[in-house]
Amino acid sequence: MSKSYQPFYVLHGASSSLVIDCRENAASILYWGPRLGQETSPEMLALLKIRQEAKGCTEKDAPIALSPEYGAGFIGNAGIQAHHSGRGWGVFSQIQSIVFVDESNQLVITSSCEASSIEIVHSLAIDPKSGVLTATTKITNLGDTLLDVDQCNAPTIPIPLHCDKILGFEGRWASEFQLRNVDRFIGTYLRENRAGRTSHDTFPGVVIHAEKTNESVGEAFGLHLGWSGNHRIRIEEQSVGRAYAQLGELFYPGELRLAPGESYCSPTLYGAHSDNGFSGLSRCFHSYVRSHLTDLRVAEKSKPVHFNTWEAMYFDLEFGHLCELADKAAEVGVERFVLDDGWFKNRNSDNAALGDWFVDEAVFPNGLTPLIDYVNDAGMEFGLWIEPEMVNPDSDLYRAYPEWILRVPHAPLVMSRNQMVLDLTRDEVQEYLFERLDSLLSDNAIAYLKWDMNRDLNQPGDSEGRAVAHYQTLAVYRLLERIRRAHPKVEIESCSSGGGRADFGILRYTDRIWTSDTNDAIDRLRIQKGFSFFFPPEVMGAHVGPSDCHTTGRTISMATRATVAMFGDMGIEANLLEMPCDEFSELKSAVALHKKHRKLIFSGDLMRLDLPSYESGFGITSEDKKEALFSYALIDSQPHSAPGAFRFDGITRESLYEVNIIWPSTPYYYSEGILDAINGAILSGDALMTVGMQLPIMLPQTMLIFHLKAVE
């Protein structure tokens, strides 16, 4: 068959290029990196990549194709692993057609394997502005028998050998997005998640970088799977001197079986390349989220400051106290009042009533309307907490429909948080939940839903004994989409015991991510740093908690708690009725400062700073570099009697800036120093970046915010 397509295809982003090699039976990535000049042709790259036959190896290496194939002799992990009752397992495909979609800068490659009776469609696109790569793999059963799919990963990414460091993300409840750097090695780096949600411990993202890459310089690749369920990250270095990365969904045995004519498409792989360090990588992802995943109704609105009742009141809800709390919240500058757990029928603790989504008449005899009216009259939107995917054994719903839960029928039921998981793949469960949520939103002026999901899917089986974790995730998306379509003005937060469901997949249906259940500001610095690798500040829920943190017991000043919350989607979760007057006044000033600068925070370019472990810092600059905010934190005692300098990376060397310390309102003074002289000073960007500012002597767990404004 004569080929009617080109041997190479090139996709360009603003600062990157992707070259696809279609000369063999299966397409592969020939190059992904800094944007190529017009004088560089794909043929030149192909010439430069000619390999020799290595001793003790095959005459020719099996290609690291978009989906590497066992039939081609690939001895790594095949991108597609499928079979018809054990036959047709050795996929060996042939390209059938290639379509370039100019308006979306997208390449669609269709291949087929006659022996396996499958069609494979690889779709790859480069966003011209952000440079973010989006890529999927779709498989269709062309046979007349069931096709068992064990793996169908997103397109495989070859990794250059000089990028030999792997930066992964790990953690636990209340300590998400922790960074873990390891050296790549001959063999396999593998992270698998079977939590049924994104998870607290295995975020579906990874950064692969060169040894000397830091926040501002050096080469790095970032990869993220936009999927809110089970997943696998695999990075393999082969002994023949090649390396590749694969990300894809993880299936339970027999979970994905395609009938004749049925298809499956992998979750989208989001990738970015940077030769401007880790922060350059993050700016690519932030730009993509803002332009492609942020709904217009949110993008065109100032994100309101939250108040959430949880750590202020827990289950002790009383109308009078809630109204008093609303008054104080309005006084401090809050724009959205969120009623958390405890509002629904018989919900006096976390042991009962999940699933019974009816307003508790014992607490609210006239429904939620009087409280909503009170909140609205105080100038605030009203939000409500829900956890629709779960059910308690002690609930009317479970007593009526015990068969509605996920479980492994022949095994003892595994409980967690005294909760069970509803089987959302059942139509009747979908209908019940939609009816309840639709009624709540139709009958009440609710502007916001905090959508929680507080346990793993330990036994994701349906009533027929089949694993359905994949279908459960799709069902969650389907319910969210249906709610959004019925109530397009309602904003939704993705909460899952904190950051247990945080990914680009869930962001297609939600507007905010609750980053972590801890409001400990010191822990939050590390958590929010890891989160910022892929997510911009405006989707990062960040709250001012009580002075004595409820998850760690650590006592932290209001100035520090407010500073950390100020650089995200700011909220408050402390009991304002019991807050000392000086703290309340300081919080009010912090809220006002956040409002003054939130347009910059939610649209600017992030530059994390390379600092020792006892310090933390970052800057956010406007696109034209004429304005910037910088945050510096001394986390722990420093090794010297006096500190060093703070360099303002990310601004323009040629500009002059007026520098002011704008927070805290009353900085700590040990003795006279730069705090007495810096405010209002006009300094060059060159001096600020190269020499930096002498830091004052500070106490551990204290912070400073600098404001830079370009002047003529």
CB burial of residue 640 (10 Å; 0-12, 13-18, 19+): exposed
Residue 669 has pLDDT above 80, yes or no: no
Structure tokens at 450: 């905090």
Q: Residue 277 corresponds to which amino acid? A: G
Reduced to 3 states (helix: H, G, I; strand: E, B; else coil), residue 341 is: coil
Average of per-residue pLDDT across 372-388: 98
Query: 452 an active-site residue?
Result: yes
Average of per-residue pLDDT across 540-545: 98
Residue 3 has pLDDT above 80, yes or no: no
CA distance between the termini of the chain: 67
Instruction: Give the distance between the most distant pair of CA atoms in the chain.
Output: 83
Provide φ and ψ at 566, rounded to 5°.
-65, -25
Residue 159 has pLDDT above 90, yes or no: yes
**What DSSP string runs through 224-243?**
EEE-SS-EEEEEEEETTTEE
Q: Count Cβ atoms below 10 Å from residue 91 Cβ, excluding itself.
A: 26
Q: What is the pTM of this model?
A: 0.97
For residues 512, 513, 518 and 519, what is the CA-based torsion angle, rounded to 10 degrees? -20
Are the C-beta atoms of 589 and 346 separated by less than 8 Å? Answer: no
Q: Residue 317 corresponds to which amino acid? A: L
Interatomic CA distance for residues 547 and 403, integer angstroms: 45
Residue 590 has pLDDT above 80, yes or no: yes
Q: Which of 21, 452, 503, 569 is catalytic?
A: 452
- 157 Cβ partners below 8 Å, 6+ apart? 29, 32, 221, 223, 244, 245, 246, 269, 271
Interatomic CA distance for residues 466 and 455, integer angstroms: 20
CA quadruple 64, 68, 69, 74: dihedral sign: positive
Interatomic CA distance for residues 128 and 337, integer angstroms: 39
Interatomic CA distance for residues 31 and 23, integer angstroms: 14
**Distance between alpha carbon 665 and the CA centroid of its chain, in Å?**
33
pLDDT tens-place string over residues 480-514: 999 999 999 999 999 999 999 999 999 999 999 99
Which runs of E-coded beta strand occur in 333-456?
A: 336-339, 381-386, 390-391, 420-421, 448-451
Reduced to 3 states (helix: H, G, I; strand: E, B; else coil), residue 312 is: helix
Which runs of E-coded beta strand occur in 259-362?
A: 263-265, 268-274, 306-308, 336-339
Average of per-residue pLDDT across 682-688: 98
pLDDT of residue 1: 44
pLDDT tens-place string over residues 412-467: 999 999 999 999 999 999 999 999 999 999 999 999 999 999 999 999 999 999 99
Residue at token pair 């066992």: 70
Q: Count Cβ atoms below 10 Å from residue 445 Cβ, excluding itself.
A: 13
Interatomic CA distance for residues 665 and 590, integer angstroms: 9
Residue at token pair 């006002």: 592
pLDDT tens-place string over residues 171-187: 999 999 999 999 999 99
Say what percent of the chain tops pLDDT 90. Answer: 95
CB burial of residue 261 (10 Å; 0-12, 13-18, 19+): exposed
pLDDT of residue 2: 54
pLDDT of residue 225: 98
Interatomic CA distance for residues 4 and 271, integer angstroms: 29
Q: Between the CA of residue 363 and those of 315, 359, 579, what are the distances in Å?
A: 11, 8, 25
CATH number of 304-599: 3.20.20.70
Are the C-beta atoms of 353 and 347 separated by less than 8 Å? Answer: yes
Q: Which residues pair with 499 in a beta bridge?
A: 496
pLDDT tens-place string over residues 262-317: 999 999 999 999 999 999 999 999 999 999 999 988 888 899 999 999 999 999 99
**Segments making up each domain of the chain, as ranges:** 8-38+61-293, 304-599, 609-711
**What DSSP string runs through 129-154?**
TT--EEEEEEEEE-SSS-EEEEEEPS
CATH number of 8-38+61-293: 2.70.98.60
- 45 Cβ partners below 8 Å, 6+ apart? 19, 30, 31
User: Do strands 133-141 and 147-152 pair parallel, antiparallel, or not at all (unpaired)?
Assistant: unpaired
Which strand (E) or helix (H) includes residue 178? strand 175-183
- 609-711 homologous superfamily: Golgi alpha-mannosidase II (2.60.40.1180)
Provide φ and ψ at 318, rounded to 5°.
-145, 135
Are the C-beta atoms of 473 and 506 separated by less than 8 Å? Answer: no
pLDDT tens-place string over residues 627-656: 999 999 999 999 999 899 999 999 999 999
- 232 Cβ partners below 8 Å, 6+ apart? 151, 153, 190, 191, 192, 193, 246, 247, 248, 249, 250
Q: Which of 127, 503, 517, 649 is catalytic?
A: 517
Q: Residue 531 corresponds to which amino acid? A: F
Residue 4 has pLDDT above 90, yes or no: no
**What DSSP string runs through 448-513?**
EEEE---S--SS-B-TTS-B-HHHHHHHHHHHHHHHHHHSTT-EEEE-BTBBSS-SHHHHTT-SEE
When the pLDDT of each residue in the chain is averaged and rounded to a whole number, the result is 96
pLDDT tens-place string over residues 33-69: 999 999 999 999 999 999 998 888 888 899 999 999 9
Are the C-beta atoms of 112 and 94 separated by less than 8 Å? Answer: yes
Q: Between the CA of residue 463 and those of 40, 229, 250, 405, 422, what are the distances in Å?
A: 58, 20, 21, 8, 11
